[in-house]
Amino acid sequence: MAKLSRRSLSLYVANGLNDPATQKTVLLQLAAYLVDTRRTKELPLIVRDIELYLAEAGSVAGMVTSAFDLTAETKKAIEQYVKQHTGAKEVLLDHSIEPSVLGGIKINTPGHELDATVRRNLTILKTQYKKV
């Protein structure tokens, strides 16, 4: 069996995920190929590449981290922000609560990160204070 490049594999899967009729088949093919070729350790890199290809096609998946649960209104505003700044037609955001961020939000999407957390701002202040 010929070894496929990670990028060509990712592009194939991303194209298959755009069609609901082929999604399950493509994912099963990916899993079988990775197991058969003993490349399962590459899965995180392949997933990242798939996310990048999907983002280029207008479907952005991302993660929002905050110290507290977000209201539906705030989630909708974040989704609109991501659409505006990425040009995406479709946005799917997961939310995780991490008390260590103290406040604010952190948004991770393929190729982009917005860190507007209190923790980051305190770290910036701390490093600037040490320089003085």
Model confidence over 47-90: pLDDT tens digits?
999 999 999 999 999 999 999 999 999 999 999 999 998 889 99
Tokens of 68: 């507290």
What is the share, in percent, of the chain residues with pLDDT greater than 90?
Answer: 78
Each residue of 41-64: b (16+ CB within 10 Å) or e?
A: eeeeebeebbbbbbbeeebbbbeb
**How far apart are the C-alpha atoms of 42 and 125, rounded to whole Å?**
38
